[in-house]
Amino acid sequence: MSAYITLSTPMLDRQCLIAAIEDEGVRRTELVCSAEAVPLRGWRRGRRAHIVIPKEVTGDAYNDVGFLRGDTGYTAILSDDHPRFGRRWLARITDRYQHHWKARQERLEEAERQRVEAERQRLVEAQRTAVYARARKLGYRVRESKQGQTVRLVLVKRTY
């Protein structure tokens, strides 16, 4: 009699999980990904999952492997005695997931840093434009110089 296991995992991000599964040799085209949980074949008690590796990929004698999305992350549903898609495979998936999660967080941090810098640049340019407009209105000429990250604006007015 075969045993199955359901393990809650700390995996929250769908794209990182799919990338981890791909790293372990399952092509994205072989996965069944659905917004609604679909039935897993070969399981009793109506098991369902959002990400499914069909049993044609895992081996005809075995069940589908699935990941059911929940509030606390994805729950892995797999056969405990499967030679390839068992506990060791899930441990490798978890390691690869952590790698992809960390890379994604770094990309997001870099994107946020670039967004903040672009916003700062827009603010500086808007202030600069306002100073130029106000100076011209009052009859001044503006001399601009840069010293490192600092921009110095000097207002010059000739009077004879």
> Looking at the structure, do residues 102 and 117 belong to the same domain, yes or no?
no
Tens digit of pLDDT for each residue in 98-109? 999 999 999 999
| pLDDT single digits (tens) 41-100 | 887 777 899 999 998 888 766 788 899 998 888 988 888 777 788 888 889 999 999 999
Task: Indicate whether 15 and 73 sit together in one domain.
Answer: yes
Q: Is residue 119 classed as helix, strand or coil in its secondary structure?
A: helix
Q: How many CB atoms lie within 10 A of CB 14?
A: 15
Number of domains present in the structure of the chain: 2
Are 152 and 127 found together in one domain?
A: yes
Q: Identify whether residues 71 and 117 lie together within a single domain.
A: no
- Flag whether the pTM goes above 0.75: no
Task: Write out the residue range of the structural domain in which residue 36 sits.
Answer: 4-107
pLDDT at residue 1 in the model: 43
Cα end-to-end distance, the chain, whole Å: 104
